[in-house]
Amino acid sequence: MESTAVKYKNGDILLGVMGDPIGHSKSPLMHGAALKAMGIPGAYVPLHVKPEDLGEAVHAIRTLGFRGVNVTIPHKVAVMEYLDRLDGSALAIGAVNTIVNDDGVLTGYNTDGIGYVRSLKAEAISDLSGARIMVIGAGGAARGIVAALLQEAPASIVIANRTADKAQDLAAEWSGSGSLAGISLDDMGEHLKDIDVLINTTSVGMYPHIDGLPVNPALLHPGMVVSDLIYNPLHTRLLTESLERGCIIHGGLGMFVYQGAYALEYWTGQTAPVDIMRQTIEESLG
Q: Is 231 annotated as a binding residue?
A: yes
Stretch that binds ligand ATR, among 64-72, 104-112, 156-164, 188-196 (CB under 6 A): 156-164
Is position 162 an interface residue for ligand ATR (rule: CB under 6 A)? yes
**Interacting residues of 162 by C-beta distance below 8 A, sequence separation 6+:** 184, 185, 202
Q: Any contact of residue 168 with ligand ATR (CB under 6 A)?
A: no
- Taking residue 197's Cβ as centre, other Cβ atoms within 10 Å add up to 22
Q: Return the amino acid letter for 107.
A: T
Cα dihedral angle (33, 34, 37, 42), rounded to 10 degrees? -80
- Flag whether 97 is marked binding: yes
41 makes contact with ligand ATR (CB under 6 A): no
- The residue number with the shortest CB distance to ligand ATR is 139
Site for ligand ATR in 109-138 (CB under 6 A): 137-138
Residue number with CB closer to ligand ATR (13 or 135): 135
Instruction: Single out the residue of 166, 191, 221, 235 in contact with ligand ATR (rule: CB under 6 A).
Output: 166
According to the binding rule CB under 6 A, does residue 217 interact with ligand ATR? no
- Using the minimum distance from each CB to ligand ATR, give the nearer residue, 64 or 77: 77
- Site for ligand ATR contains 74 (CB under 6 A): no
Query: What is the rounded CA–CA span in Å between residue 168 and residue 48?
Result: 36
- Of the candidates 201, 236, 242, 268, which one interacts with ligand ATR according to CB under 6 A? 201
Asked if residue 138 belongs to a known ligand binding site, the reply is yes
* Residues designated catalytic: 76
Q: Based on the shown chain and the rule CB under 6 A, indicate whether residue 163 belongs to the binding site for ligand ATR.
A: yes
Kindly state the number of chain residues that form the binding site for ligand ATR, as judged by CB under 6 A: 14
Applying CB under 6 A, does 140 fall inside the site for ligand ATR? yes
Known binding residue 166? Answer is yes
**Around Cβ 282, how many Cβ atoms within 10 Å?**
13
Which residues form the interface with ligand ATR (CB under 6 A)? 137-142, 161-163, 166, 201-204
Which residues carry a binding-site annotation? 25-27, 72, 97, 112, 137-141, 161-166, 229, 231, 252, 259
